[in-house]
Amino acid sequence: MEQQDVLVGPGHKFVFSWQAPDFEHEERDASWYGWSIFAASALVLLALFVQKNILFALFIIIAEAMLIFLSWQKPRERLYSLTPDGIFAEQDQLATYDELHSFAIVGVSGKYAEIVLRFKKSHRPYLKMLIPSSHAQQTRELLATGIPEFEYQMNLVEAMVRRFRL
């Protein structure tokens, strides 16, 4: 845990900062790509011969190409910080405490835990960022001084992404 006195943004001081990747990168072996291409090929055949839907087949091909391309991307390391005025990533302010409704910290058992921030405005999606699991408890204590904690429930899409390592 870094306690620093370095200015960030427009005159804000760090209370607490950490470095973490944008997302957890999952190394995939050849069998993962093989199964992915097999499943996409089966869907393309279904779209072409059963449904006779060329556009759907084209969509599946483009989606599979994007999935493979994005699986090669490595995450960028970022410096996150909690300040008296909000949460920052590098020099960008992600949220002020006035905008936040509540927070959750999930998945503490692995290398990284995930901070989930829920906004007061319901149309804004959750903001998620990684933090080293060893810093999760101290971060929870700092956030709990100004924001209530909530019980985060993973939705079906998130569960599938984790299960199939997408």
The answer, yes or no, to whether residue 159 has pLDDT greater than 50, is: yes
3-class secondary structure per residue, 83-121: ECCEEEECCEEEECHHHEEEEEEECCCCCEEEEEEEECC
Instruction: Tell me which amino acid residue 124 is.
Output: R
What is the edge-to-edge ordering of all strands in the sheet holding 86-89? 16-21, 77-83, 86-89, 92-95
pTM: 0.71
| pLDDT at residue 14, as a whole number | 55
Find the helix or strand (DSSP H, E) in which 54 lies. helix 54-71
pLDDT tens-digit series, residues 1-49: 444 433 334 444 557 888 888 888 788 889 989 999 999 999 999 999 9
pLDDT tens-digit series, residues 95-143: 888 899 999 998 867 788 999 999 999 888 888 999 998 888 888 888 8
State the Cα–Cα distance between residues 27 and 129, nearest whole angstrom. Answer: 20
| pLDDT at residue 13, as a whole number | 54
